[in-house]
Homo-oligomer: A and B are copies of this chain.
Amino acid sequence: MASTVYDIARAASVSTTTVLRALWDKDDIKPETKERILKLAAEMNYRPNLVARSLTLGSSHFVGMLVTPSVTTTYASSIGLVVRTVRKAGYGTLCYTTDGRPDSERMCLEQLASARVAGAIVIPEADTKNVPIYQEMADSGMKLVVAHSCIDGLNVPQVVGDNYQVTYLSARYLLSLGHTNIVYLAIPQDCLLGRERARGFRDALQEAGIPVSPASIVTCGNSEEAGRKALTALLQRKKAPTAIIARHDSVALGVMRAAFAAGLSIPDDLSLIGNSDIPVADLLRVPLTSIRHPAEEVARTAITKLVSMLGGAKIELDITKLGVELIKRASCAPAKE
């Protein structure tokens, strides 16, 4: 099968050390010997066994990547980015996605630990219930960086868009259009990210002198289906909202579907703002106003941090927030009357 350094050594009638010296292009080896060995290695189709190398070196040349299924599509480009960037740094990427089951996240992390990955980038659900597991892994020496999300109290570097601004900018814009009955389809507030979003929403309303009723923050799942159901429920209210801020574009798509199904016009009857600015946002039946995150910069920053951690650098265990931007499109209009 695959040839080994030992095979080459035998074929060249030298020791394995000499073979290594040739392969690693050292200079304490006679040029002719080197050449002869290199030629032999090529002929014998030698490919270093990274498994053995990892064992010897004590750490694999892989970094792990853990992505939650509900965001897989959103961050597909991040996956590619991570894969390619870490490859430049000499690492392969071990990908895991959880299937959403409670301890699936734990199993994936244990796998990564077992595989002795050098480090890992994780894109968890904002309201993951597995914070202790992450912390445990980090404490046991795994280099961890959280991207596109942030987890309260987790003592590792985290890189994320500014979630306070997500709702603050959205709400401000809707207020400037004259809306007062705005509902925010929210991330649960039992996690930092959820609280940041809620705070941005509340602050904007309060600054405008609009009282924030609990009914204006409706916790919602992170899917089209959840958005659909949420709007359907909202339309039952005696005073249905005139504007919606959806926690994510996919939720906004669900809202759109439900609105159309109910015979409502967007933006005439309902203004709508999403979040994350999916690529087709401007080609939708009603082009969707959304918050654009610097997704690439987030990924890049996270990877940079990870790579320098791998290099042994001490990194600030803080949360890096990158600016977001409101992209105005046709899904919002001035409030009527």
Q: Mark A55-86, 1 if CB is under 8 A from B, else 0.
A: 10000101001010100110011011001100
* A287 interface contact, C-beta 8 A: yes
Partner of A76, one of B2, B73, B280: B73
Q: Is the CB of A95 within 8 A of B72?
A: no
A223 to chain B, nearest CB (A): 11
Q: Is the CB of B92 within 8 A of A93?
A: no
Q: Is the CB of B65 within 8 A of A95?
A: yes
Main secondary structure on A side of the interface with B: mixed
Which of A110-118, A170-178, A196-204, A313-321 lies at the interface?
A110-118
A275 to chain B, nearest CB (A): 16
Q: Is the CB of A52 within 8 A of B55?
A: yes
| Residues of chain B contacted by A80 (CB below 8 angstroms) | 67, 69, 72, 97
A246 to chain B, nearest CB (A): 14
| Residues of chain B contacted by A256 (CB below 8 angstroms) | 283
| Residues of chain B contacted by A262 (CB below 8 angstroms) | none
* A48 interface contact, C-beta 8 A: yes
| Residues of chain B contacted by A111 (CB below 8 angstroms) | 87, 92
The closest CB in chain B to the CB of A53 belongs to B114
Give the distance in Å from the alpha carbon of A110 to the alpha carbon of B48 in the complex: 10
Give the distance in Å from the alpha carbon of A279 to the alpha carbon of B257 in the complex: 13
Give the distance in Å from the alpha carbon of A160 to the alpha carbon of B60 in the complex: 34
Partner of A51, one of B54, B69, B84, B110: B54
* A193 interface contact, C-beta 8 A: no
* A128 interface contact, C-beta 8 A: no
Give the distance in Å from the alpha carbon of A89 to the alpha carbon of B1 in the complex: 25
Partner of A95, one of B55, B79, B140: B79
* A49 interface contact, C-beta 8 A: yes
| Residues of chain B contacted by A110 (CB below 8 angstroms) | 47
A274 to chain B, nearest CB (A): 12
| Residues of chain B contacted by A140 (CB below 8 angstroms) | 1-2, 45
Q: Mark A272-294, 1 if CB is under 8 A from B, else 0.
A: 00000011100111110000000
Q: Is the CB of A50 within 8 A of B283?
A: no
* A94 interface contact, C-beta 8 A: yes
Q: Is the CB of B114 within 8 A of A47?
A: yes
Given contacts A51-B60, A284-B284, contact A87 B96 (CB under 8 A): yes
A150 to chain B, nearest CB (A): 22
| Residues of chain B contacted by A76 (CB below 8 angstroms) | 72-73, 76, 79
The 6 A-B residue pairs whose C-beta atoms are closest, nearest first, are A76-B76, A95-B95, A80-B97, A51-B54, A50-B114, A72-B80
Besides the contacts A49-B55, A92-B96, A93-B96, what 11 more A-B pairs have beta carbons closer than 8 Å? Answer: A1-B140, A47-B113, A50-B114, A50-B116, A51-B51, A84-B99, A92-B94, A92-B115, A253-B280, A253-B283, A285-B285
